[in-house]
Amino acid sequence: LPHTVALVAAAGRGSRFGGDRPKQYAALAGMPVLRRTLAALRGVPEIDAMRCIVHPDDGDAYREAVAGLDLLAPVPGGASRQESVRFGLESLADAPPAIVLIHDAARPFVDRPLVLRLLRALSSADGAIPGRPVTDTLTRVADGRTAGSIDRAGLVRAQTPQAFRYDAILAAHRAASGRAHTDDAGVAEAAGLSVAVVPGSEDNIKLTTPEDMERAAALLARDRETRIGTGFDVHALGPGDHVVICGVRIPHEGGLVGHSDADVGLHALTDALLGAVACGDIGSHFPPSDPRWRGADSALFLAEAARLVRAAGGSIVNVDVTLICERPKIGPLREAMRARIADILAIDTSRVSVKATTTERLGFAGREEGIAAQAAASVAMPSPGSEP
Ligand code: MG
């Protein structure tokens, strides 16, 4: 039996973000808020299973938001948050967990240290909630005028998740049916349970307003870091009537010699992307000894590097290729090369630069014995220990 189950209350109707979508399905940096919340909870190994409580009208949005995640089947919510949570608790009665964490779908910044504080507190209490101190002065207002401040000593701002012994909170919710409480701690208290307060997290904000979404986007950006990779490649010129550079076939008085299509630009760029995610080099992924890559389109190599970047949770910020040759003249081909690279990497052309230089007729490139390319790539990655 699962020892600890997270119940995520996602049945609310609040859509103060202006759109008609409830806030838990709004996109936060390209991902629905609910999915981010579930991903954060999934990063807590002490949680054995998760179940969402979902509004009956939100079936499609829910399925889209949680595609591919391993969850218990959702349960439909009720007329209020309190009723929804009770339905969620009742749904676990056949296979009761020892502990239940009740969490708001709109708090995607829950993290493991917070959950561990709650679970530890349950050794000496029936329930535990995260609380943050109130630092601003609390003042009553009447008719636009101050009407006496409130002593903030002993006050905290209660967050979720709220953790309870399952049997105790189920009984409390059953007993509270028909009487409204502001949160599950209130339900527990009304039933005489002891509820501990542990330090909450200032980042564990509840996304309610458009300003909250902006703050959340900034928190996500804070937890990402930029990685840089560089690459360099050379291919000799030999017999032939064309070269392929940056995915563009160019008629030429010779050809580039190589096992694949010898696309020196894409090879340097592939190495730059692999370097940014510390994922080896082009030779380790596509050994020249492997007959599969004879004459291969180097777009395959670059696409695989992009796949590895994304599999590591990264997104490509920009790439920059410098071709080093006397001929062919790159200027007239630049836009075609940028477009081809953008297409292979599935990023916007504005993130792709292709430049060229000669070596003033010096060295192997100057003598047109070969063509060289160097590349740089930057990738935004989750900082270690931030996002799952
Ligand atoms: Mg090469």
**Buried-exposed string 361-386: b where 16+ CB fall within 10 A, e elsewhere:** eeeebeeeebbbbbbbbbbbbeeeeb
pLDDT of residue 385: 53
Q: What distance in angstroms lies between residue 327's CA and the mean position of ligand 1's atoms?
A: 18
Q: What distance in angstroms lies between residue 190's CA and the mean position of ligand 1's atoms?
A: 72
Q: What distance in angstroms lies between residue 269's CA and the mean position of ligand 1's atoms?
A: 10
pLDDT in tens, 278-287: 999 999 999 9
Q: What distance in angstroms lies between residue 246's CA and the mean position of ligand 1's atoms?
A: 12
The C-alpha angle with vertex 371 and arms to 367 and 372, in degrees rounded to 5, equals 120
pLDDT of residue 388: 40
pLDDT of residue 21: 81
Count of other CB atoms within 10 angstroms of residue 94: 6
Q: What distance in angstroms lies between residue 294's CA and the mean position of ligand 1's atoms?
A: 12
pLDDT of residue 382: 80
Q: What distance in angstroms lies between residue 379's CA and the mean position of ligand 1's atoms?
A: 22
pLDDT of residue 222: 83
Q: What distance in angstroms lies between residue 307's CA and the mean position of ligand 1's atoms?
A: 19
Beta bridge partner(s), residue 157: 132
- Tell me the two tokens of residue 120: 């530890």
Q: What distance in angstroms lies between residue 39's CA and the mean position of ligand 1's atoms?
A: 39
Low-confidence ranges of the chain (pLDDT < 70): 1-2, 15-19, 384-388
Q: What distance in angstroms lies between residue 311's CA and the mean position of ligand 1's atoms?
A: 24
Q: What distance in angstroms lies between residue 282's CA and the mean position of ligand 1's atoms?
A: 8
pTM (predicted TM-score): 0.67
pLDDT of residue 18: 59
Q: What distance in angstroms lies between residue 326's CA and the mean position of ligand 1's atoms?
A: 19
pLDDT of residue 178: 81
Q: What distance in angstroms lies between residue 233's CA and the mean position of ligand 1's atoms?
A: 5
Q: Residue 357: what residue type?
A: T
pLDDT of residue 1: 57
